[in-house]
A = this chain, B = another copy of it.
């Protein structure tokens, strides 16, 4: 088996994840998290919330997944959130045209080519339909919008779309959210929830879903004044694969501290460097293997035009013995004021924040106060349009009023007005502040891909007592179950059930199992990544002790039952390590 098949098999059999609606043949790109997978995902989300919302002092919101069309007219998704599609004339199946070209040529980024060139490349390289083998030469390459469309209410008067990112739910509500932040920058807003991308023909399990979960933080900052608390992560080491290194002959990953990365200009935006540091600490905490992890900078062709710097956190999700398979798990982007300016242009609301000056400032403001007794008779129904044009001209080009006449364009025609009739003047005004459109710093996590990374990095094969064993070395904070409880004798079952309840009441996810040999019970827990198993044996009724077994080493120690909840809580929180436990002498 290869390409994650071994993990997919375990995931299906043990309840981590599987394709949805399987009894109906499934739908590509839609996966269900089973009991174990939903627990891991939930734990990952909680760890994210603790780090990126609570500890950073941000606000978490929850906005709908369906949003009306004007939002995506403004955001640009309606126009540009496209993939290139080519449809087979014979079997009717659709394919990503750029991917076909990449598969048949040396071209690596066909996405950036114009459609006509992709059409030519398909013809020149005799690219055939992957489904039925018919040649695709001559077939048109078209843009396919990746948003799922629907209609809100009856009829099609109000189109709606499933949001392609949770971020838009934050951006559109900034006029209200800034009030909750008392109009003080910086402020951060987070959201964890579903997002959608109607992929043309997704393959690859959790790596490419049509419905997925994002955890996004949008930090709104004053680009002139706000600086990140770099000191908190200054010494965190970042494995940086810069654009420059990617394009160099022997390009390699540079290990720099956050401070070095900023000082040497490898990471251009200090806010981005700060979050790369926080991110690295968080990935480590939830069990991402940092030896198979890197930050890769976007090449200039990849980067959105508005983003001054973008880095992807990437993980190698190959299983032992497979070729490397790097996937993006988080995008870190400095989005400037692009998003809020777009919404300010399209929507009827105020997306800027009023920034008070330390001292009031006096400015000269050119104004007009036209003589309507002249303009009215002279221009009739066009008079108001002439007034507006004069006001614009005064604001943007006050020099034009230096002569005797000014000329403005109204409805495509030039109109001339004597300056004396415009009431042109330059007034001194005192200003107390300005309206500032905040810049946006965005760490955007793909939760499903993070979960997938955590599972692949935890996947282990070894031998125990001469038998092959598969297990998941999950971090206790992320594992679905903290402890399995096994009675070794029939008359210990009641006692074992009571202990399970007691552990649960102490907030420890515990599973009771009395079925099959002790070896089978251990393997079952090993496969779902349960870090500890507790066994009640013949000695338990004598001295009220049980054994704890460590998943990774299979070492065992005895612990008094009364101490068990505290010991397990300490092990789970990382306050104690298993090697420090000692079996007390037999009474």
Q: How far apart sit A59 and B155, CA to CA, in the bound complex (Å)?
A: 39
A154 to chain B: which residues have CB within 8 Å? 85, 87, 94, 144, 200
Q: How far apart sit A514 and B24, CA to CA, in the bound complex (Å)?
A: 59
Of A14-22, A303-311, A326-334, the one with at least 4 CB within 8 A of chain B: A14-22
Q: How far apart sit A158 and B26, CA to CA, in the bound complex (Å)?
A: 11
Q: How far apart sit A160 and B210, CA to CA, in the bound complex (Å)?
A: 12
Mask, A131-156, CB within 8 Å of B = 1, is 00000000000001000111111110
For A23, A37, A66, A200, the residue with the greatest tally of chain B CB atoms inside 10 Å of its CB is A23
Knowing A87-B154, A201-B153, A211-B64 are in contact, say whether A347-B38 is a contact too (CB < 8 A): no
A201 to chain B: which residues have CB within 8 Å? 153
Q: How far apart sit A54 and B92, CA to CA, in the bound complex (Å)?
A: 48
A179 to chain B: which residues have CB within 8 Å? 13
Tell whether A429 is near chain B: CB-to-CB under 8 Å.
no
Of A67-75, A120-128, A462-470, A534-542, the one with at least 4 CB within 8 A of chain B: A67-75
A74 to chain B: which residues have CB within 8 Å? 24
Contact B63 A32 (CB under 8 A): yes
A20 to chain B: which residues have CB within 8 Å? 63-64, 67, 169, 172-173
Tell whether A65 is near chain B: CB-to-CB under 8 Å.
yes
A50 to chain B, nearest CB (A): 9
Tell whether A105 is near chain B: CB-to-CB under 8 Å.
no
Tell whether A349 is near chain B: CB-to-CB under 8 Å.
yes
Q: Which residues of A85-124 have CB atoms within 8 Å of chain B's CB atoms?
A: 85, 87, 92, 94
Contact B68 A27 (CB under 8 A): yes
Contact A68 B21 (CB under 8 A): yes
Knowing A65-B65, A175-B22, A194-B194 are in contact, say whether A34-B180 is a contact too (CB < 8 A): yes
For A62, A85, A348, the residue with the greatest tally of chain B CB atoms inside 10 Å of its CB is A62
Contact B60 A38 (CB under 8 A): yes
A561 to chain B, nearest CB (A): 21
Knowing A12-B176, A211-B65 are in contact, say whether A347-B24 is a contact too (CB < 8 A): yes
Tell whether A504 is near chain B: CB-to-CB under 8 Å.
yes
Knowing A20-B169, A176-B12, A194-B194 are in contact, say whether A64-B150 is a contact too (CB < 8 A): no
A46 to chain B, nearest CB (A): 10
A-B complex: 3 closest residue pairs judged by Cβ atoms: A23-B349, A23-B347, A35-B59
Binding site for B on A (CB under 8 A): 12-13, 15, 18, 20-25, 27-35, 37-39, 41-42, 54-55, 59-68, 70-71, 74, 85, 87, 92, 94, 144, 148-155, 157-158, 160, 162, 169, 172-173, 175-177, 179-180, 182, 194, 196, 198-201, 210-211, 343, 346-349, 351, 504, 509, 515
